[in-house]
């Protein structure tokens, strides 16, 4: 089965959306995420729809899909409630299984397939809704084969998670969502601050007019990393509650068409024009240009904020391939970004982005080659501190060997045998990067910075096990560390 997003991913990191960029997910060119449950860990392997629906309602179990099954047809099951901390495992991002693996396909339009108020997890699941392609439910009454023009009669979602606190997180890893008229995944509700994490997922053909979302967020926190979007009305949408936060990084939005901007942050109401707490976007590529609407195609934005975030938000180090210039002020219709109702951006900044078709290293979604600069020798680690156009001093303490690479541009000091018996690194970045070669067994024991920086190890986000400290805590909204 050929995937529709093979061309946009050509030349990009093959982990984005879990894809090889060649139309299948089989083969050995991309690896299964480390956290993907092994088949030996499954509590159940299901081969029928009835088994699937029954088993996922149990608590604390791992339910795997039989890879020999082509489709699990969901017809007549309404709002199945998964058990607490239950995980559903498919094969979409499994290089040992050719193609998508089994597809779970819902054929009818009841509001939701899976709905839960407990944390729920999906790994490698291909979840298909009943309607692929653009349509406008407001025009359905004009056709005799359709008996309603109310969008509520046609909307359906794949998964709706409503936990009453941000922790624990619901994880969606290496999954594919397509054909959903309301949304592939819905997070939270009023007074339900739900936290969802999406890693190496694909969202496409969720493009019903008036709704049509990849991820729609009512409240809580959404984290999206190495995800792919295409042909959605909005890939990621936010309702506007002042406790709503969203971080999107290393993602790629294909050329569409969409039926609206790729990212949409609503204001809560006309009387309360809050547009969430914050949204932060970095290292993403947006290929969109034209959108579909009731009157045909029209130029549309990549990012739209309809109100004012509570705290500082931004788009950084990103690439808008079809937008040829940086927007003036708060932007206009059809620009790379637009903050409605303002002449100048407020609590939203756009820094170190590029516009137009030319690819520039260090901007946009990661390419196939190592995005971190130097290729490490066997056993070495290349630690890179990326400047973000803000003066940022940093201090790093390392237990192990440290040396400078050729990428040190702004100057730094390495103090060996510090008072703790390790090595201290001190430097400043803006906008140049600093890189260090760490020994195979070297361990970072302390990291402190005075401003926003991005940190990678061998070109990948550095998952440090030590606390990261901000020296200027009073500037917390403007200074953070991105791993």
Query: At residue 69, does pLDDT exceed 90?
Result: yes
Residue 271 makes CB contacts below 8 A (sequence gap 6+) with none
Do residues 229 and 252 touch, judged by C-beta distance below 8 A? yes
Mean pLDDT on 172-193: 92
The full 3-state SS of the chain, as one line of letters, equals CCCCCCCCCCCECCCHHHCCCCCCCCCCCCCCCCCCCCHHHCCEEECCHHHHHHHCCCCCCEEEECCCCCEEEECCCCCECCCCCEEEECCCCCCCCCCCCCEEEECCCCCEEEEECCCEEEECCEEECCCCCCECHHHHHHCCCCCCCCHHHCCCEEEEECCCCCCCCEEEECCEEECCCCEEEEECECCECEEEEEECCEEEEECECCCCEEEEECCEEEEEECCEEEEECEEEEECCCCCCEEEEECCEECCCCECCCCEEECCCCCCCCECCCEEEEECCEECCCEEEECCEEEECCCEEECCECCCCEEEECCEECCCCCCCCCCCCCCCCEEECCCCCCCCEEEECCEECCCCCCCCCCCECCCCCCCCCCCCCEEEEEECCCCCEEEEEEEECCEEECCCCCCCEEEECCCCCCCEEEEEEECCCCEEEEECCCCEEEEEEECCCEEEEECCEECCCCCCEEECCHHHCCCCCEEC
User: Which pLDDT score is estimated for 83?
Assistant: 95
pLDDT band for position 5 (cuts 50, 70, 90): low
Give the phi and the psi of residue 140 in degrees, each rounded to 5: -65, -35
Q: Which two tokens stand for residue 135?
A: 């349509």
Do residues 228 and 19 touch, judged by C-beta distance below 8 A? yes
pLDDT digits (tens, 9 = 90+) for 197-242: 999 999 998 988 788 889 999 999 999 999 999 989 999 999 989 9
Lowest mean pLDDT among 50-59, 193-202, 346-355, 451-460: 451-460
User: Which pLDDT score is estimated for 28?
Assistant: 36
Distance CA 196, CA 188 (A): 9
Mean pLDDT on 166-189: 90
Instruction: Delimit the domains of the chain by residue range.
Output: 16-355, 381-482
Tell me the pTM: 0.76
Mean pLDDT on 74-99: 86
Of residues 456 and 420, more confidence is placed in 456
pLDDT digits (tens, 9 = 90+) for 298-340: 889 999 999 999 999 999 999 999 999 999 999 999 999 999 9
Lowest mean pLDDT among 2-16, 99-113, 116-130, 354-368: 2-16
Of residues 420 and 262, more confidence is placed in 262
Do residues 390 and 410 touch, judged by C-beta distance below 8 A? no
Of residues 433 and 118, more confidence is placed in 118
Lowest mean pLDDT among 117-121, 158-162, 367-371: 367-371
Of residues 36, 78, 90, 85, the one with CA closest to residue 53:
78
Do residues 386 and 429 touch, judged by C-beta distance below 8 A? yes
Of residues 374 and 393, more confidence is placed in 393
Q: Which two tokens stand for residue 409?
A: 């541009």
Mean pLDDT on 82-107: 88
pLDDT digits (tens, 9 = 90+) for 375-415: 444 456 778 887 665 667 888 888 888 887 755 544 567 77
pLDDT band for position 457 (cuts 50, 70, 90): confident
Determine the Cα angle at 250 with ends 245 and 256, to 5°: 90
What CATH architecture does domain 16-355 belong to? 3 Solenoid (2.160)
Distance CA 459, CA 406 (A): 15
Of residues 223 and 272, more confidence is placed in 223
Give the phi and the psi of residue 376 in degrees, each rounded to 5: -70, 150
Mean pLDDT on 30-57: 90
């Amino acid at each position: 089965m050929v995937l529709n997003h093979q061309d946009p991913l050509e030349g990009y990191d093959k982990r984005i959306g879990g894809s090889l960029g060649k139309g299948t997910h089989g083969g050995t060119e991309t690896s299964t995420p480390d956290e993907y449950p092994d088949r030996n860990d499954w509590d159940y392997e299901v081969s029928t729809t009835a088994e699937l629906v029954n088993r996922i309602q149990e608590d604390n179990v791992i339910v795997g899909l039989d890879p020999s099954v082509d489709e699990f047809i969901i017809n007549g099951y309404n709002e199945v409630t998964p058990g607490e901390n239950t995980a559903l495992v498919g094969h979409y991002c499994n290089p040992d299984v050719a193609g998508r693996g089994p597809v779970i396909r819902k054929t009818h339009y009841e509001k939701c397939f899976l709905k839960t108020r407990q944390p729920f997890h999906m790994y490698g699941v291909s979840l298909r809704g009943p309607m692929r392609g653009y349509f406008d439910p407001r025009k359905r009454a004009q056709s005799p084969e359709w008996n309603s023009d109310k969008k509520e009669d046609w909307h359906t979602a794949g998964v709706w998670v409503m936990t009453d606190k941000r922790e624990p997180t619901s994880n969606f890893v290496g999954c594919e969502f397509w054909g959903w008229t309301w949304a592939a995944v819905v997070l939270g509700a009023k007074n339900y601050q739900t936290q969802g994490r999406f890693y190496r997922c694909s969202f496409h053909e969720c493009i019903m007019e008036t709704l049509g979302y990849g991820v729609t967020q009512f409240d809580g926190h959404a984290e999206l990393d190495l995800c792919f979007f295409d042909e959605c009305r909005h890939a990621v949408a936010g309702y506007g509650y002042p406790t709503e936060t969203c971080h999107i990084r290393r993602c790629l939005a294909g050329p569409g068409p969409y039926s609206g901007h790729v990212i949409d942050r609503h204001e809560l109401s006309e009387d309360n024009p809050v547009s969430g707490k914050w949204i932060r976007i970095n290292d993403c590529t947006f290929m969109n240009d034209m959108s579909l609407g009731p009157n045909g195609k029209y130029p549309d934005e990549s990012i739209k904020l309809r109100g004012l975030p509570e705290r500082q938000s931004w788009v950084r180090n990103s690439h808008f391939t079809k937008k040829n210039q940086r927007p003036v002020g708060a932007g206009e219709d059809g620009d790379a970004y637009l903050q409605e109702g303002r002449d100048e951006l407020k609590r939203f900044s756009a820094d170190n982005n590029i516009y137009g078709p030319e690819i520039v290293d260090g901007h946009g979604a990661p390419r196939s080659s190592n995005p971190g600069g130097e290729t490490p020798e066997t056993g070495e680690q290349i630690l890179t501190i990326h400047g973000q156009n803000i003066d940022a001093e940093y201090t790093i303490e390392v237990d192990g060997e440290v040396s400078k690479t050729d990428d040190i541009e702004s100057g730094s000091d390495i103090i060996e045998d510090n008072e703790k018996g390790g090595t201290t690194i001190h430097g400043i970045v803006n906008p140049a990067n600093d890189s260090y070669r760490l020994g195979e067994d070297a361990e970072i024991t302390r990291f402190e910075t005075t401003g926003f920086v991005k940190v990678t190890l061998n070109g990948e986000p550095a998952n440090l096990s030590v606390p990261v400290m901000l020296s200027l805590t009073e500037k917390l909204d403007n200074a953070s560390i991105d791993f």
